[in-house]
């Protein structure tokens, strides 16, 4: 099992460009999450999907959109990238939102110039 995979690992964008971060899990988990990690701050939840077909905003959703494509895949889209979105992005999954630990992907390091 690969666990949680993310692509790409690194990305540099110019301000205003768009891109989609991909995440997939092969553990048959119901819940998936997108976080960002910035220096000096804890991980912050951007969006989550409690189950296939549902998505909800987290703590810092502005500037992002998500799609739960199917049970395996949860993508994060930046429509018009801004320098404030320079961060490391982590995808995670868990069997459900309440009872279980989360499994994290390797992260995507995004720089917006």
Partner 1 sequence: KNEVEQSPQNLTAQEGEFITINCSYSVGISALHWLQQHPGGGIVSLFMLSSGKKKHGRLIATINIQEKHSSLHITASHPRDSAVYICAAKNYGGSQGNLIFGKGTKLSVKP
Asked if residues 13 and 19 have their Cβ atoms less than 8 Å apart, the reply is yes
Give the residues lining the site for partner 1 (CB under 8 A). Answer: 31, 40-45, 48, 50, 58-59, 88, 90, 92, 96-98, 100-104, 106-107, 109
Task: Name which of 75 and 94 has its Cβ closer to partner 1.
Answer: 94
User: Which single residue is written with the structure tokens 């049970």?
Assistant: 71
Min CB(18)–partner 1 separation in Å: 24
Instruction: Report d(CA 41, CA 30) in Å as an integer.
Output: 28
CB of 98 to partner 1, least distance (A): 5
| Partners of 25 in the β-ladder | 4
Nearer to partner 1, 3 or 16 (CB): 3
Cα–Cα distance, 62 to 44 (Å, whole number): 12
Q: Nearest distance from residue 107's CB to partner 1, in Å?
A: 5
């Amino acid at each position: 099992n690969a666990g949680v995979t993310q692509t790409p690992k690194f990305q540099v964008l110019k301000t205003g460009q768009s891109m989609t971060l991909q995440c997939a899990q092969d553990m048959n988990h119901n819940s998936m999450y997108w976080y960002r990690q910035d220096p000096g701050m804890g991980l912050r939840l951007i969006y989550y999907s409690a189950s296939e077909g549902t998505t909800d905003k987290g703590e810092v959703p502005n500037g992002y959109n998500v799609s739960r494509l199917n049970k395996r895949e949860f993508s994060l889209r930046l429509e018009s990238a801004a320098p404030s979105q320079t961060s490391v992005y982590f995808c995670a999954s868990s069997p459900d939102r309440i009872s279980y630990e989360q499994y994290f992907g390797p992260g995507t390091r995004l720089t917006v110039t």
